[in-house]
Structure 1
């Protein structure tokens, strides 16, 4: 029998370099114990007071969208990557640069893997010349796959472009940049955009002398950069004195900035060895050391896809005999594609999506998103009795070399989130043994958990012309599979866990190690959001009938009238607008229109309802919209669609179709209400969490919020009014 237990909060894990913001106030981690985390506030003038957050409070803040975590943000590697690339993650860069950076990262990752596997592999010209052709063959195959459409391979005979391989010197330079950026791919971005007068201020001998002095930084006494530079100046003075006495040319002094650049260009592994010892270096740079055993939740997640035979399932469930002849003919020719992700440490299934269409990059990305974020709502829609609250940022994703997983779009998502990806060679399923075994269990055992009647409902018939209108109910199949995962598989003893259930293993290991929280709303929008292009008008940008506006957006309008926009289908309360290499966060412009946590499905259902009931109205008042939206949510009319169980993946085409069909003439009347929540008083999944306040461990000092834009801070809505002649 499945075990039952109350829903428990997932315990989060932070590193000392993580940036954490709670309701906009910035913190950094200090310590953690069984009770919770101790965080120190970050103030403009230095460190702020300590505050304690219990584990359950942090989880509640995450569910409510009030917790922001940027892993490694405060670390030297992340700073170096941002400094070099002027971008936070790969999704912020133009598509052409994304391709180049992904290509370079593949070269670096594959060479680092060869260094790990082959003790004889070095970074000498001779060794790298032998390795480059092997890497080029694999990367060229991957690069050709990237040129397919939607993650599907290009047709045989079609022409593809393959980039020329790098030289050993170029590959070594990429490796240094990659390691200095903490293995963040954006650190591989070229600096051509900063081209200008770069003539050297010192000759080669002077730079060689400075470089030799910079190597004094590799000292176990751990001198500071300033100490090493002062020592270099003293040695330079002595060397020039000797040269002057011998009548030779004097060496030029390099600036502190140039000297620091010499230090930064030293191999990070060598720096770590010299300053902290070989053992510490190997632990820190584990990507080039021996593999680690999987012990933490979400340390390794295996993802795969399989073709599911509905006839086999229905027959095993005892439902086949009760189907009509036309239903049997339909089922015989129908197969569903299942994309599944399993956590290696706990054996918990963290994502399960069933599609009627063949796999693509869109289905792979949908599974990755599902694996990262909380799935409590999905379990509720499927009527599961146990919680499906497994969530967190994945450390490493392991897939096969299917076109959906090696597609450029999929690689961009993983790289933007800082998730390592591994694609074992083909015909080696033992490298993904856990997910392969789950597929066997899926097809052989899960039907025993349900009656034949349940599976009869998977096949539905139309009201007329039964043979012509019979179809497979993918939503019912998805809900059935979710109930099996959450109530049966997660709560049954697992041989690979020595008899422990996956749900119990998740609770035990998250209590011991924790997990990195999922990305915040802004990052989710930029990585997983729907993309569209809009013109900036006097009222801002219009998406799904809503005008979004801000002063920064209007300033952007002067230089870039047409912009890329990202929309989170789970929260229409904000959108992201591309501005250079970053994103602006913009809110709705209509006073009284607060769409915080209103989903795509609730909003489109509301628009359809209003269009049907108020077809003759030129514009609608906010109270009318509020009442319709509240009814949709209160009655749960869009809950199943929000769960995306069996529904097609929403893409850019669906957004543009909704604009045309529902919002072409959609307009609001301003009722004068300022900032009223359209869903005030309407129950939501996370509303049962109580308000969370940190426990101060010292007298609190309040400073400016580092996460806010200072220009927006002083902006008052009633002071901002723009009239556009072409809109009046």
Structure 2
């Protein structure tokens, strides 16, 4: 089958979204199969027309971004409440309280769905106390002593709980709406004029949810008849007469009832259960990114090599290293095209791998396919609409939920023990296992046989990272080009090319948005005359200096991304300001390359040379010509440094050392080249030792001694 060429993906932009193009804000007026027609938000007379291909290219070139649901009621309300803050910008106590309130709401919704009724009054108050203990895990435990601090929360009142529920639903179930904030005394609700009258109104209104299926007009006559009958008795007894409700007032009591409670009462619980049940029997998935499924795939390298017949040809040293290695792949697959969007390797399932797979799904991966030597480019990138995961620890963690929420991706977890609810990812693993075995057996074994005089037992140097490369190459070159019956004989690659040209897809985040969501936050950064220095790179702007002149010596939060050091985000008055570097560094320089260049500078004892930037750029070019930058930028190795290790590395390489750049470097950075890897040629041969960029450097005596930060 002929492999189709991918030209562009159709980007989905709705009438409620904001389209930012060349720093101008636009809204969509109309669109068709070829063009979008936009109008400026602040100038209704200015219109612009762009084709789908132009929009796709502008997003890739960082000239355009899409802010989804920007002009919705919930989006405007969230911006009014918290601005552009994320959960990391609030204190841990505030976030913990918001999560506690969210769990109470989920308990409340579960109770209503199971019992087809809404608890009220004292019943709800008792349930809140029970749920509060269950959520915080203190049910059945002894109360803490009076001289000990108590870090648990008390149950909210019924009135406060209903306020939380209303805010939560009005903000599209965004947990940030439950964060504590000062509101003042609030609105005082008008007291009920006559409690006895209101009791009769409410009693008759609730009879609307009965099998007799009365109309609202009929119940209004019933309540008036009840009031008339009671007033006759009261007039004879000389008591105060009751009040009859108006039509709108009475119908408001009926509308206040839950819809599922009304349907269950009028049509029966069985009908209500079937009517409000989530539709999971069929999957009408057409658009790329409409449904993306996540799951973890466990691979035992020793078992795989034994089945392929390669294990006996490896040296005892390699066998000893690989005997206990078990890799986990966090995988994301598109349901509409069966296209693999992300594959993140780790030694054990964790939320870091899930978040990394989410970012990989929305990032360009063509450099990864080039790095592993695949002939088919890895072109799939999309911001999904809904992600389906299991109920494992990495997927229910707070960090994972926060990442999906900030990316504006709905996160759905089907019930545990029902893999059929995620059929696409489950069938993918069975298919991939056969392809991987065929790839190893047909490629690696044949290359060993062709060599003849090659001593595999003495020279085999296959590492875990190279196995990950082989897995990704098998996905790109075999799985993506294999016709499947689920696609009516089409291949996942061709299906992705065809459907992204036919259907609209959500725009992927820009570099600034990726840094805002997936970046690393550093505290206690001071603004000097040279701006802010992070990892030895100076960042400065006129706006930053105006803040320095206005506020003096204050400490600020800084957020950066390891794959792009050209700019950082600085939090000023609760808002994030993008600040570019002042040494001309482009967006291709990664943190790993910058660390390698710094280590080379220190090891060569060139810390006091005049043009340090030229020396560091020269080291980066050497790394790129050697082909190591491609593997570092791909970020597919399971050997990932911890956050604590990166902090110690920053202290060792940059703190206490003079990193000054007097001018921009005249030298230009080379393009990233691929290293010479025999696996790309289908051969098993010894390879050169690769540079461990993120390892602790060997620094000459010119560096100050610091035993506490010498290793990590």
- Give how far 1:105 is off: 3.8
- Give how far 1:457 is off: 11
Name which of 346, 356, 365 aligns with 1:355.
Answer: 346
Name which of 88, 92, 97 aligns with 2:94.
Answer: 97
Normalised to the residue count of structure 1, the TM-score between the two structures is 0.70
Normalised to the residue count of structure 2, the TM-score between the two structures is 0.71
Tell me the residue number matched to 1:223: none
Query: Is 1:562 the equivalent of 2:558?
Result: no
Aligned equivalents of 2:155 and 2:495: distance in 1?
Answer: 45
Query: Is 1:526 the equivalent of 2:509?
Result: no
User: Alpha-carbon deviations, 1:432-458, whole Å to 9, x = none?
Assistant: 232222222233332202446648999
Task: Give the SS at the match of 2:341.
Answer: strand
Range with greater deviation from structure 2 (532-541 or 333-342):
532-541
State whether residues 629 and 672 of structure 2, in contact with CA within 8 Å, keep that contact through their aligned partners in structure 1. no
Query: Is 1:56 the equivalent of 2:53?
Result: yes
Aligned equivalents of 1:63 and 1:578: distance in 2?
Answer: 26
Task: Give the SS at the match of 2:579.
Answer: strand
State whether residues 123 and 172 of structure 1, in contact with CA within 8 Å, keep that contact through their aligned partners in structure 2. no
Tell me the residue number matched to 2:15: 16
Name which of 480, 490, 510 aligns with 1:490.
Answer: 480
Aligned equivalents of 2:326 and 2:124: distance in 1?
Answer: 47
Task: Give the SS at the match of 1:37.
Answer: strand
Query: Is 1:367 the equivalent of 2:357?
Result: yes
Aligned equivalents of 2:303 and 2:492: distance in 1?
Answer: 26
Tell me the residue number matched to 2:77: 80
Tell me the residue number matched to 2:577: 584
State whether residues 101 and 188 of structure 1, in contact with CA within 8 Å, keep that contact through their aligned partners in structure 2. yes
- Give how far 1:168 is off: 5.2
Residues 508-519 of structure 1 aligned to structure 2 (within 5 Å): 508-519=498-509
State whether residues 99 and 408 of structure 1, in contact with CA within 8 Å, keep that contact through their aligned partners in structure 2. no
Assess, with a 3 A threshold, how the Cα gap between structure 1 residues 414 and 625 changes in structure 2: closer, same or farther: same
Residues 436-451 of structure 1 aligned to structure 2 (within 5 Å): 436-451=426-441
- Give how far 1:102 is off: 3.8
State whether residues 570 and 600 of structure 1, in contact with CA within 8 Å, keep that contact through their aligned partners in structure 2. yes
Aligned equivalents of 1:678 and 1:596: distance in 2?
Answer: 16
Tell me the residue number matched to 2:240: none
Aligned equivalents of 1:391 and 1:130: distance in 2?
Answer: 48
Residues 358-507 of structure 1 aligned to structure 2 (within 5 Å): 358-451=348-441, 454=444, 473-507=463-497
Aligned equivalents of 2:421 and 2:589: distance in 1?
Answer: 41
State whether residues 297 and 328 of structure 2, in contact with CA within 8 Å, keep that contact through their aligned partners in structure 1. yes
Aligned equivalents of 1:79 and 1:314: distance in 2?
Answer: 55
Assess, with a 3 A threshold, how the Cα gap between structure 1 residues 295 and 545 changes in structure 2: closer, same or farther: same
Query: Is 1:304 the equivalent of 2:285?
Result: no
State whether residues 315 and 458 of structure 2, in contact with CA within 8 Å, keep that contact through their aligned partners in structure 1. no
Residues 632-651 of structure 1 aligned to structure 2 (within 5 Å): 632-633=623-624, 636-651=627-642
- Give how far 1:536 is off: 0.4
Tell me the residue number matched to 2:63: 66
Name which of 668, 671, 674 aligns with 2:660.
Answer: 668
- Give how far 1:310 is off: 0.7
Q: Which residues of structure 2 form unaligned runs of 5+?
A: 140-148, 196-251, 260-274, 449-455, 674-712
Assess, with a 3 A threshold, how the Cα gap between structure 1 residues 424 and 289 changes in structure 2: closer, same or farther: closer
Assess, with a 3 A threshold, how the Cα gap between structure 1 residues 352 and 187 changes in structure 2: closer, same or farther: same
Assess, with a 3 A threshold, how the Cα gap between structure 1 residues 384 and 134 changes in structure 2: closer, same or farther: farther
Aligned equivalents of 2:617 and 2:175: distance in 1?
Answer: 44
Task: Give the SS at the match of 1:12.
Answer: strand
For the aligned residue pairs, the C-alpha RMSD in angstroms reads 4.1
State whether residues 542 and 548 of structure 1, in contact with CA within 8 Å, keep that contact through their aligned partners in structure 2. yes
- Give how far 1:107 is off: 4.4
Aligned equivalents of 1:423 and 1:379: distance in 2?
Answer: 30
Range with greater deviation from structure 2 (382-391 or 653-662):
653-662
Tell me the residue number matched to 1:230: none
- Give how far 1:421 is off: 1.7
Aligned equivalents of 2:433 and 2:134: distance in 1?
Answer: 33
- Give how far 1:594 is off: 3.5
Residues 541-552 of structure 1 aligned to structure 2 (within 5 Å): 541-552=532-543
Task: Give the SS at the match of 2:46.
Answer: strand
**Larger RCO: Structure 1 or Structure 2 (Cα < 8 Å, ≥ 6 residues apart)?**
1
State whether residues 516 and 569 of structure 2, in contact with CA within 8 Å, keep that contact through their aligned partners in structure 1. yes
Aligned equivalents of 1:133 and 1:434: distance in 2?
Answer: 41
Q: Which has the larger radius of gyration?
A: 2
Aligned equivalents of 1:559 and 1:570: distance in 2?
Answer: 31
State whether residues 79 and 181 of structure 1, in contact with CA within 8 Å, keep that contact through their aligned partners in structure 2. no
Q: Which residues of structure 1 form unaligned runs of 5+?
A: 145-158, 209-262, 271-285, 459-465, 686-728
- Give how far 1:612 is off: 4.3
Name which of 574, 591, 594 aligns with 2:567.
Answer: 574
Task: Give the SS at the match of 1:52.
Answer: strand
Aligned equivalents of 2:336 and 2:127: distance in 1?
Answer: 33
State whether residues 594 and 678 of structure 1, in contact with CA within 8 Å, keep that contact through their aligned partners in structure 2. no
User: Alpha-carbon deviations, 1:11-40, whole Å to 9, x = none?
Assistant: 211121111112212211222322232222
- Give how far 1:309 is off: 0.8
Aligned equivalents of 1:622 and 1:269: distance in 2?
Answer: 66
Task: Give the SS at the match of 2:11.
Answer: coil
Tell me the residue number matched to 1:659: 650
- Give how far 1:639 is off: 1.4
State whether residues 494 and 500 of structure 1, in contact with CA within 8 Å, keep that contact through their aligned partners in structure 2. yes
Assess, with a 3 A threshold, how the Cα gap between structure 1 residues 376 and 86 changes in structure 2: closer, same or farther: same
Assess, with a 3 A threshold, how the Cα gap between structure 1 residues 469 and 529 changes in structure 2: closer, same or farther: farther
Residues 612-627 of structure 1 aligned to structure 2 (within 5 Å): 612-613=603-604, 615=606, 617-620=608-611, 622-627=613-618
Tell me the residue number matched to 1:281: none
Assess, with a 3 A threshold, how the Cα gap between structure 1 residues 593 and 325 changes in structure 2: closer, same or farther: closer
Aligned equivalents of 2:57 and 2:258: distance in 1?
Answer: 39
Query: Is 1:181 the equivalent of 2:171?
Result: yes
Aligned equivalents of 1:403 and 1:169: distance in 2?
Answer: 34
Task: Give the SS at the match of 2:330.
Answer: strand
Range with greater deviation from structure 2 (360-369 or 328-337):
328-337
Range with greater deviation from structure 2 (497-506 or 562-571):
497-506
- Give how far 1:165 is off: 5.3
Tell me the residue number matched to 1:605: 596
